[in-house]
């Protein structure tokens, strides 16, 4: 018997994929993780190239929103992006505080 990591549903006849997800969550969760990972990578580049503070803030906010989604998956024991979203979230929350504070 296997239990889905995301929806916690499971039963004698249920099977999970290699990520530990059931049939209905698997494709959805994988696609969501991929989307948010892409947003994070893109916004990291935007942030690095940005010169003005408002531009940097916009990028950070988008990045943090996606990182929060991924942290929810990580808390369920799923692998998301590299570096882990938890670290990304902590690091960019710090960058944001620096920007707003100055």
Cβ(35)–Cβ(22) under 8 Å?
Answer: no
Cα–Cα distance for residue pair 30/94, rounded to 1 Å: 28
Q: Which of 2, 7, 57, 99 binds Zn ion (CB under 5 A)?
A: 7
Touching Zn ion, residues 69-98 (CB under 5 A): none
Q: How far is the CB of 26 from Zn ion (least distance, A)?
A: 7
Which tokens in the block code for residue 92?
């960019």
Residue number, 22 or 70, with CB nearest to Zn ion? 22
Q: Is residue 33 a contact residue for Zn ion (CB under 5 A)?
A: no
Least Cα distance to 89 among 57, 55, 64, 56 occurs for 64
Least Cα distance to 5 among 28, 21, 26 occurs for 21
Q: Which of 3, 13, 25, 60 binds Zn ion (CB under 5 A)?
A: 25
Q: How far is the CB of 49 from Zn ion (least distance, A)?
A: 39
- Chain residues in the site for Zn ion (CB under 5 A): 4, 6-7, 22, 25
């Amino acid at each position: 018997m296997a239990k889905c990591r995301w929806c916690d549903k499971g039963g004698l006849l249920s099977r999970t994929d290699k990520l530990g997800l059931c049939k209905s969550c698997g494709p959805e969760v994988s696609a969501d993780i991929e989307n948010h990972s892409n947003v994070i990578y893109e916004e990291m580049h935007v942030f690095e190239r940005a010169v003005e503070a408002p531009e940097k803030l916009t990028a950070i906010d988008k990045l943090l929103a996606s990182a929060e989604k991924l942290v929810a998956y990580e808390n369920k024991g799923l692998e998301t992006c590299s570096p882990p979203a938890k670290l990304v979230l902590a690091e960019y929350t710090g960058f944001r505080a620096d920007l707003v504070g100055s």
